[in-house]
Each structure stands twice: as C-alpha cells, then as structure tokens.
Structure 1
Amino acid sequence: MATKRRPAERTLESSLLGRTVSFNYSETWVAYSIVGLRLVMAWVFLQAGLEKLADGGFGDPLAWSSAGFLNNAIAEANPVHGLFLWFGEYASIVDPLVIFGQILIGLALLFGAFFRFAALMGALQMLFFWTAAWQGGLLEGFPVENGFFIDSSFVYMLLLFGLAAWGAGRLAGVDGILESTQPVRSNPWIRYLLG
C-alpha cells in the first residue's frame, strides 16, 4: 500500500526584535505563494504602465502626464510638497520614466529576470507614491486619504522588499537559469541584481 507523500515541511528559526522565534512551514506552499505574489505584483506594474501608454504615452497633449498630479494633487501640508513640484517641472522626463519603468518592472517581475533590481526600482517608485499621498507631516501622523500612515503603495513597497529578500526570481524565473551561467559565476556581484 502506497503512502501519500506530504509536502516538505521545515522549521524556520530566527531572531526577531531580540527574541528567538520558530515556526513550521511547508516549502511547497511557500514557493506557490511567492510565485503568486510575484505574478500579482507583475500585473500591478504592467497594467499601470500599459494603461498610461495606451492613453497616448507622452508627447500628445491629451495623453497621460504626471504634471497635473505633481503640480496640483500633492497636499501643501505634505513635508515633501516642494520635491513633487520640482518633479512637475520635469514632467517630460518623469513621464517616460514612470510609463516605461512600470512596464519594464512588470515584465522583470513576471519573468523573474533581474528580479532584485526590478523589485528595488518598484519599491522606490512605491516610496514616491506613498510620500506623495501624505496629507500632512509627522505631527499629524502622516495621514493618507484612507487612514494614517499606511496605504496600498506602502503595502506594495513592503511586499516587493519581501519578495526580493526571498529571491523570488529564482522560483520558476529566469534568474534561476542566469545564476548558473559563467558570467554570473565569474562576477558574483551580479547576483545582487538577480534572485
């Protein structure tokens, strides 16, 4: 009689805030969840970039542009309001960076190629979106439209950080193949971009 094989189970032991923590987890389900989260984040970036590109890209006066948002939608009480006004002066540079940045980040996340670099760039973009959403400063608790401190951009930023830490590009991704190539083995610093 054949026995049913259970998914591989491991125990993670670590130190968190000076306290030892330990828990069991299934390698199989962790792998599925990491790939699933990677695909969801890929979709978020691809959809955003492709929608902006479909709206005419840049150069067309009726096309999507960051200028309206940067010059008019950032609360004056936001401590970095001036930075976004400065970005608004350079919308002709910011627009293609946002549009093609989102598309390229989405593709890199989707295919697991240069994943850590793409996740870092995505997290940086989410950091800018999050700080732009502040309605006030520290003394006001950094309120955002739907609460205090946390919004979807902040969640995406943390999710991208976690996926990069796990090396999500190696799971059913191009980075797993790239890491075994001679150029990467000869130049181990490249691994910081992969994973």
Structure 2
Amino acid sequence: MSTQPAERTLQSELLGREVEFNYSETWLAYSMLGLRLVMAWVFLQAGLEKLFEGGVGDPLAWSSAGFLENAIAEANPLSGLFAFFADFAAIVDPLVIFGQILIGLALLFGVFFRFAAMMGAIQMLFFWTAAWQGGLMAGFPVEHGYFVDSSFVYMLLLFGLGAWGAGRILGVDRILEDSSVVKENPWLRYLLG
C-alpha cells in the first residue's frame, strides 16, 4: 500500500504558452479547504461585527455612509461613484452586512460556492477600488503600496477557489450536484462547486 500522496499533472495553455506541472491531490484538497474556511471566517466575522457594532440590542448601528463620504480619496477616479453610494446607505448597509454573513456561511458550508465566491469577489473589487489613493497615472496607490492590498488578494483567492470548485470538498455542493434537479438543469453547476 502506497503512503505517497496521489500526484497528477495539470496541462493547460496560459497566455499562449503550454504549461504543465505536477501537483498533489491530497495537498491541493487540504489547501483549498483551509483557504475556503479562512475566507468564510473573514466574511462571517466582518458581517457579524458590523451587524452587532452597536450591541446585540441595537443591530444595524454600523453604517457605510461615514466611510463613503469621508474615507475615499478625492484623487480616486471613482470617488464620485462612492459619494453616490453614500446617498443610498439605507440600501448599501444591509447589502454589505447580510451579504458578508451569507457569503461567509456559503463558503463555510460549501453551498452555492461559485455564486458566493463571485459575490464575495465583487464585494472585494468594490473595497479595493475604494482604497485607491489615485488613478492610473499615479499607479493606483493604495494605503500601503501600489495596486495590491488585502481586498485584491481576497478577490483573487475567491476567484481561484471558485475555479477549482472548492465547495465540493466536504461541502453541500457535492450532494447538490448529484441531485436530480441539478442533473436536469446543468446550468446550475455554474452556481455550485
């Protein structure tokens, strides 16, 4: 009996070039599950902190309005868009709070994983663009450097986890994909995985 992790070879084309490398299925599965759980925690914690910021008796005390009105740099080419969002904080706030909680739960349990990963990546895209201190000519500076911040990293992690179908690893999506509803409606697989 072999104790070596199962290895596979990935062959693909990337930017017009053939790429090929070996990887361990075992370590890939563990790493995807670990990253999935970490991202679930990031979203759940953020959403629950916002929900209960004013205390359990005062849910929804958190508001995006102060951030949207005061924290977006004037040099940010999208500052006008975020100022517009500030006028609709009553809509934006529950979308952020409950979006983060639902994304976190979906990532945690591996249910509608690709859809949740896409929604999380879109939210991270908004957070990343809000962090710009300037535009293209300035090199898209963010608070601690240029171009890349934690929101950008999270966005790429979610994209990768969705591409690999990390919701199938000890997740509800594995069960859902075997259901008759999904087999009769194969387009649903784009939401699962």
Q: TM-score, normalised by structure 1?
A: 0.95
**Aligned counterpart, 2:40:** 42
Closer/same/farther in 2, CA of residues 62 and 166 from structure 1, 3 Å limit: closer
Tell me, yes or no, if the aligned pair for 2:52 and 2:60 is still in contact at 8 Å: no
| Alpha-carbon distance in 2 for matches of 1:108, 1:4 | 35
**Aligned counterpart, 2:183:** 185
| Alpha-carbon distance in 2 for matches of 1:6, 1:61 | 51
Tell me, yes or no, if the aligned pair for 2:111 and 2:172 is still in contact at 8 Å: yes
Q: Percent identity?
A: 79
Closer/same/farther in 2, CA of residues 62 and 189 from structure 1, 3 Å limit: closer
Q: Tell me, which stretches of 5 or more residues in structure 1 are unaligned? A: none
Aligned-partner SS, 2:76: coil
Cα offset for 1:4? Answer: 4.2
**Aligned counterpart, 1:169:** 167
Aligned-partner SS, 1:22: strand
**Aligned counterpart, 1:28:** 26
**Aligned counterpart, 1:127:** 125
**Aligned counterpart, 2:62:** 64
Q: Deviations over 1:142-169 (max 9, x none)?
A: 0000000000000000100000000010
Instruction: Name the stretch that deviates more: 62-71 or 175-184.
Output: 62-71
Cα offset for 1:16? Answer: 1.5
Look up the equivalent residue of 1:194 and give its one-letter code.
L
Cα offset for 1:56? Answer: 3.2
Cα offset for 1:5? Answer: 2.3
After TM superposition, list the pairs within 5 Å mapping 1:6-155 onto structure 2.
6-56=4-54, 63-155=61-153
Look up the equivalent residue of 1:37 and give its one-letter code.
L
Cα offset for 1:62? Answer: 8.9
Q: Deviations over 1:57-108 (max 9, x none)?
A: 8xx6992110000001000010000000000000011111000000000000
Look up the equivalent residue of 2:154 and give its one-letter code.
Y
| Alpha-carbon distance in 1 for matches of 2:10, 2:185 | 30
Look up the equivalent residue of 1:13 and give its one-letter code.
Q
| Alpha-carbon distance in 1 for matches of 2:18, 2:188 | 33
Aligned-partner SS, 2:62: coil
Instruction: Name the stretch that deviates more: 174-183 or 17-26.
Output: 17-26
Aligned-partner SS, 1:85: helix
Q: Which runs of 4+ in 1 moved over 3 A?
A: none
- In the alignment of these two chains, the number of paired residues is 191
